[in-house]
Structure 1
Amino acid sequence: MRKIQYISLWIFSFTLFTACKKDLLDIENPNEPTTETFWKTEDDAQKGINAAYSRFYKEGTWMRWLSFRYDLSSDEGWSTSPWNELGDWTRFNYVNYNFFEGNNVHWQDFYVGIFRANQVLKYVPDIPFADEENKKLILAQAQFLRALWYFQIAILWEKGALVLEPTEAGYVPEESSEEAIWAQVEKDLQESATVLPEKWGDDDLGRATAGAAKALLAKAYMQQHKYAEAMAELKWLIDKEGTLYGLMDEYLDNFTHYKENNKESIFEIQFDDKNKGGTGEDASMATGFQRTQFYAPSPVGWQDGKARPWFINEYKKEKNLDGANDIRLYYNLYYSGSAADFPEKSPLVYGMTWQKGNWGDQTYVRKYSTGYYREVEDYFAPNNYRLIRYADILLMYAECIAETGGSLTDAASYVNKVRQRPSVNLPSLQNSIYKDVLNSKAKFLKHLQMERTLELCFEGWRWIDLKRWGMLDTQEGINELKSRDADFNNFIIGKHNRLPIPQIEVDNSGGKFTQNPKY
């Protein structure tokens, strides 16, 4: 049951924002559940948590636009969209703070997701269950999802409304600090990790697990430089290597729809191409991965998002143990020299040879594209999005070891696992052209920044990593990013580290919300 029956749930979430007193003229519509008629049975509770998961099928999340904030705003990518305002929001040219696709859509979709999780946490405790353990599982999932959305708010705006119960229309929340939001993220994940199972059955693939909660908690700790705390959570996952988690031999298996929910997946958003509707709230709402349509080269897709070409040279700096180029370059990028660099692999791009007249020397994102099985993109790509992978866990653990003063040799052993995946087959760091990075903590951590992006590029973590490493806080860091991405010539330190609060939220807050600094 691949979609966790998300679609049966659009049901009621918006109708529950208000609850009015009834009088004799009120007529109850059985097709529009309210708080008085819903939240009565175990089935209601299950539909409620499924409704919270269904927020993944909205444009402001990883389904479509969030990659513009995380991939294209970082030095990994850029936008050449003919829609100038869309492109400008990856170039730090923010004029209209209410630009929907660049700002408000994220705020809206995250807070609707929070509202749905809050509904579950508010009403499910009063529902009688035959087995109270099932109730606890539903509540723990809601806590995980609420934490996941608040994590994005802390990253993108660095403040927001900390709302922990469903509210009625007209409610105006207070502004909460980044520190308060991180504290709530920690609390929700700490509590949910103790309840969630290590693994769900086949009918519930895609639900949050204890490992997913611990991995996200580790990321929250790391963003606050709490490396010792993060290390403890990551160790739990690493101790499960070989029994629950591990690396797939084939790197590509993490990005197609053929081997989904595999051992490398820590948390995976379930997409498919069965529903081909819009992204509304009806039963035919789309459940496909839409980013592929925006990243694919024309005429296959819209080519709104492209990769920066510096990746090509970075991958080619070292050969694997067979003397060949790093296969991750082939699987992550489409570029004009790919056929020559990988003569044993298909030179075709969605069934076409390189279109020199149309594509020139541009670099496109192959990762998560569906060119491995079809010749055109659409809004209904079937491949799941692996939000957190075990490779990420290993690289984060290596970072935590170094940051806490541990052995660099020990830290390198976890990096080596990623480098020496059978299909990648790179030498160990100790035997590589980068062996000198083991001579100092500073050199090791700097090199680890590149190891992370070569493994995890276009998976939504680069912008978050840049913030954690402080590269957005100093002119030295910005100069390095400028050398790879000209968009950073527009970057203003202390301003573009965060998005502007949607202006409509500031205007409607009655003074309870202030705009972010320098906006």
Structure 2
Amino acid sequence: MKNIRNIISLLIITGVAFLSCDDSTIELDPIGDTEAGFFQTEEQMTQAVLGTYQKLTFFYTFRGGPNNFLQAIWQLPGDDLTTEANHPHEFFSGLNGNNGQLNAFYRFSYQLIARANTLMQKIEENGSIAYENQPELMDYHRGEVLFLRAWMYFKLWNTYGTAPLVRERIVALENAFPPNSQGTELLDQAILDLEEAAQILPEAWGDANKGRVTRNSALGLRGKALVFRGTVTGSSADFTSAIQDFDAISGVSLTSNYGDNFNTAMENNEESLFEFQANNQAGINNVFLDNDSFAVVGDIGAYYGHFVRRPTWVGNTVYSATSTLMDEFEPGDPRINYIFDPEPGLVTNVVKYIKDGNWTNNPGGANGSSRNNPRILRYADILLLKAEATVRSGGNLSEAVALLNQIRERARMSAENEMSAVPSDYTLTGETESTVLEWIFKERRMELACEEGHRWYDLRRRHLAGEIDLKTWDFDSKRIDLEFEDFHVNFPLPEIEVIENENMNQNAGY
């Protein structure tokens, strides 16, 4: 996966523009591939699968300006990170349907979904001839794009709450205007997709394909989606099913050192379930590319410049760890040195993916892009979710606390010299379910700090469930104009989509 450079586009498989239609040109063969001639071999089907993975780059790369990169959507709304910059995801009251980052996120999400749906259609149509040599690849490929589509629906639900469900390739105009989903339908579809994916994905890939999703990936993400759905619906059955999925995961474990999860030399390790496969910038790299044509290659690095002010002209667009996040940790917790810069008072105080030698591209390239993979789903997240599901389903509190203590033990073992004394294990002395649940969310905040929007997604679902009230929450923001209202749990849909699609409604409050 790390060596992929030029990937085909599934949405624009090259047509040909004819200069004229006289007898000398009308019989010419098209230049390059056309849809009619593609999707015929295992190699072409593999290219199409990798083309679906390739769309992930649009969510993680530098997009040419401080208000363009999409990480703001899931990193800034919570209370882990803050910025002085004019990001409405930080202070909420400035959000509207014309927000460029939200609109790009929506567009790229449905481009990825379209790629997945196209490939599933072609597998159905051509699978019997395309997979003659390796018939097992047909299931593997379907499982991969089902996983990626499900991940996209999971992100869409956590961003907008409601967005269209597109289960099949759109080839007719009458199907081009789907309505909003309702309730948890986006999560429902993700859970269904992942159930099938877990049945057909391989247990593992060879070294040449390391980083492609596996059965464990599908089980982990499905369990996570079930916990999220159960939180807002109160369904105990969802928590029970999530535990079953988590228990079915095999062959993975926590790394011996916490920092191994953010070191470029330790990518796709034993704790990893899903990573964006970042790479060095290509020679024909174009950071401004935001469409679905690949005449030039979009940026394939992971952007971390918002932690270090790269490029320098981004000014105050720096994401800093909040004091409330840093205060969660006990002094001496070894995770502190892997997450934060120890020098007090720094604005650029987050080093999780850029500590020491983790920077690549000297260091991070002019735009702050790196080939260090963002870890999207890792086993520590799964153990914490399992602990939560155990508590919420009325299970044994001692079992939940034991899972928490696995995370804390690994933290103690991650000290640079000898084993640390903190964080010490939790010990039950008559605590209630609600107390243990708060322990879990505190541990999730520390263990998963500044990664993948875990904190915002946790706060959002708990607010939807009525467990917390974000209107009175201390976001510890640098912005004095922060103003959270109930409707901000769902960000605005692109206004242009709402205007052009008569079947679609804007989220309440926008």
> Which TM-score band applies after superposition, normalised by the shorter structure?
0.7 to 0.9
Question: 73, 80, 84: which is aligned to 1:80?
Answer: 84
Q: Is the 8 A contact 1:264 1:389 kept in 2?
A: yes
Aligned positions of 1:311-322 closer than 5 A: 311-316=325-330, 319=331
Match of 1:493 in 2: 485
Q: Which stretch has the larger CA shift, 59-68 or 181-190? A: 59-68
AA of the residue aligned to 2:58: K
Q: Is the 8 A contact 1:295 1:301 kept in 2?
A: no
Report the alpha carbon displacement of residue 261 of structure 1 after superposing the two structures with TM: 1.0
Q: Is the 8 A contact 2:280 2:300 kept in 1?
A: yes
Report the alpha carbon displacement of residue 477 of structure 1 after superposing the two structures with TM: 4.4
Match of 1:377 in 2: 364
Match of 1:182 in 2: 187
Aligned positions of 1:335-414 closer than 5 A: 335-337=342-344, 360-362=345-347, 364-369=349-354, 371-372=356-357, 376-378=363-365, 379=367, 380-414=369-403
Report the alpha carbon displacement of residue 57 of structure 1 after superposing the two structures with TM: 1.1
Question: 226, 234, 245: which is aligned to 2:246?
Answer: 234
Question: 434, 446, 459: which is aligned to 1:454?
Answer: 446
Does 2:508 align with 1:517? yes
**Distance of aligned partners of 1:204 and 1:132 in 2 relative to their CA distance in 1, 3 Å threshold:** same
**Distance of aligned partners of 1:201 and 1:157 in 2 relative to their CA distance in 1, 3 Å threshold:** same
Q: Using the alignment, how far apart are the partners of 1:488 and 1:228 within structure 2?
A: 42
Q: Residues 17-42 of structure 1, C-alpha deviation per residue, up to 9 Å, x if partnerless?
A: 99xxx999866663353332222222
Q: Is the 8 A contact 1:273 1:288 kept in 2?
A: yes
Q: Is the 8 A contact 2:82 2:478 kept in 1?
A: no
Report the alpha carbon displacement of residue 513 of structure 1 after superposing the two structures with TM: 0.6
**Distance of aligned partners of 1:311 and 1:181 in 2 relative to their CA distance in 1, 3 Å threshold:** closer
Question: 4, 8, 11: which is aligned to 1:10?
Answer: 8
Match of 1:267 in 2: 274
Report the alpha carbon displacement of residue 481 of structure 1 after superposing the two structures with TM: 3.1
Q: Using the alignment, how far apart are the partners of 2:29 and 2:80 within structure 1?
A: 51
Q: Using the alignment, how far apart are the partners of 1:245 and 1:43 within structure 2?
A: 30
Q: Is the 8 A contact 1:49 1:142 kept in 2?
A: yes
Match of 2:434 in 1: 442
Report the alpha carbon displacement of residue 428 of structure 1 after superposing the two structures with TM: 8.4
Q: TM-score, normalised by structure 1?
A: 0.83
**Distance of aligned partners of 1:507 and 1:173 in 2 relative to their CA distance in 1, 3 Å threshold:** same
Does 2:298 align with 1:285? yes
Does 2:84 align with 1:70? no
Aligned positions of 1:295-310 closer than 5 A: 295-297=307-309, 302=314, 303-310=317-324
Q: Residues 92-111 of structure 1, C-alpha deviation per residue, up to 9 Å, x if partnerless?
A: 0335422212x101001110
AA of the residue aligned to 1:267: F
Report the alpha carbon displacement of residue 227 of structure 1 after superposing the two structures with TM: 1.1
Classify the secondary structure of the residue corresponding to 1:364: coil
Question: 154, 157, 165: which is aligned to 1:154?
Answer: 157
Q: Is the 8 A contact 2:60 2:302 kept in 1?
A: no
Q: Using the alignment, how far apart are the partners of 1:204 and 1:300 within structure 2?
A: 36
Q: Number of aligned pairs?
A: 470
Q: Residues 364-406 of structure 1, C-alpha deviation per residue, up to 9 Å, x if partnerless?
A: 2111125435574334301111111111111111111111112
Classify the secondary structure of the residue corresponding to 1:496: helix
Q: Using the alignment, how far apart are the partners of 1:109 and 1:146 within structure 2?
A: 12
Q: Using the alignment, how far apart are the partners of 2:282 and 2:169 within structure 1?
A: 29
Q: Using the alignment, how far apart are the partners of 2:164 and 2:464 within structure 1?
A: 27
AA of the residue aligned to 1:470: H
**How well do the aligned residues superpose, as a CA RMSD in angstroms?**
3.0
AA of the residue aligned to 2:405: N
Q: Is the 8 A contact 2:15 2:33 kept in 1?
A: no
Q: Is the 8 A contact 1:77 1:305 kept in 2?
A: yes
Q: Is the 8 A contact 1:249 1:423 kept in 2?
A: yes
Q: Using the alignment, how far apart are the partners of 1:162 and 1:177 within structure 2?
A: 10
AA of the residue aligned to 1:365: V
Report the alpha carbon displacement of residue 159 of structure 1 after superposing the two structures with TM: 1.1
AA of the residue aligned to 2:456: W
Q: Using the alignment, how far apart are the partners of 1:27 and 1:474 within structure 2?
A: 67
**Distance of aligned partners of 1:146 and 1:236 in 2 relative to their CA distance in 1, 3 Å threshold:** same
Q: Using the alignment, how far apart are the partners of 2:358 and 2:299 within structure 1?
A: 20
Q: Is the 8 A contact 2:84 2:478 kept in 1?
A: no
Q: Using the alignment, how far apart are the partners of 1:23 and 1:144 within structure 2?
A: 47
Does 2:221 align with 1:216? yes
Q: Using the alignment, how far apart are the partners of 1:307 and 1:495 within structure 2?
A: 25
Report the alpha carbon displacement of residue 514 of structure 1 after superposing the two structures with TM: 0.6
Q: Is the 8 A contact 2:10 2:115 kept in 1?
A: no
Q: Using the alignment, how far apart are the partners of 1:23 and 1:406 within structure 2?
A: 76
Report the alpha carbon displacement of residue 16 of structure 1 after superposing the two structures with TM: 7.9
Q: Using the alignment, how far apart are the partners of 2:22 and 2:125 within structure 1?
A: 26
Q: Using the alignment, how far apart are the partners of 2:180 and 2:429 within structure 1?
A: 43
Match of 1:253 in 2: 260
Q: Using the alignment, how far apart are the partners of 2:429 and 2:508 within structure 1?
A: 37
Percent identical residues: 26
Q: Using the alignment, how far apart are the partners of 1:495 and 1:43 within structure 2?
A: 47
**Distance of aligned partners of 1:144 and 1:117 in 2 relative to their CA distance in 1, 3 Å threshold:** same
Report the alpha carbon displacement of residue 255 of structure 1 after superposing the two structures with TM: 0.5
Q: Using the alignment, how far apart are the partners of 2:272 and 2:325 within structure 1?
A: 25
Does 2:89 align with 1:89? yes
**Distance of aligned partners of 1:206 and 1:178 in 2 relative to their CA distance in 1, 3 Å threshold:** farther
Q: Residues 441-469 of structure 1, C-alpha deviation per residue, up to 9 Å, x if partnerless?
A: 11110121111111001111111111222
Match of 1:468 in 2: 461
Classify the secondary structure of the residue corresponding to 1:159: coil
Report the alpha carbon displacement of residue 331 of structure 1 after superposing the two structures with TM: 1.0
Match of 1:356 in 2: none
AA of the residue aligned to 2:343: S
Q: Which stretch has the larger CA shift, 298-307 or 34-43? A: 298-307
Q: Using the alignment, how far apart are the partners of 1:88 and 1:264 within structure 2?
A: 34
AA of the residue aligned to 1:189: L
Match of 1:58 in 2: 58
